[in-house]
Amino acid sequence: MCDTHTTDPVDEPYGTDRHRPRKPAEARRTVERVVTACRGTHGPTWCDAGALSDAVLVASELTTNAILHGGGVTDFRVDVVGPEVRLSVSDRSRELPVAVPRTDPQGRRRVGGRGWPIVCRLARDVRVADLPSGGKCITVVVPLS
- Categorize the per-residue pLDDT at 60 as very low, low, confident or very high, splitting at 50, 70 and 90: very high
Q: What is the pLDDT of residues 6-40, one digit of tens each?
A: 223 334 444 555 667 889 999 999 999 999 888 66
87 in a structural domain: yes
Q: How many structural domains is the chain composed of?
A: 1
Give me the domain span that covers residue 51: 18-99+111-143
8 in a structural domain: no
Check pLDDT > 90 for residue 114: no
Instruction: Report long-range pairs for 32-35 (Cβ below 8 Å, ≥24 apart).
Output: 32/56, 34/1, 34/78, 34/80, 34/85, 35/78, 35/80, 35/85, 35/144
The domain spanning residue 79 has which CATH number? Answer: 3.30.565.10
pTM over 0.75? The answer is: yes
Q: What percent of the chain has pLDDT over 90?
A: 57
136 in a structural domain: yes
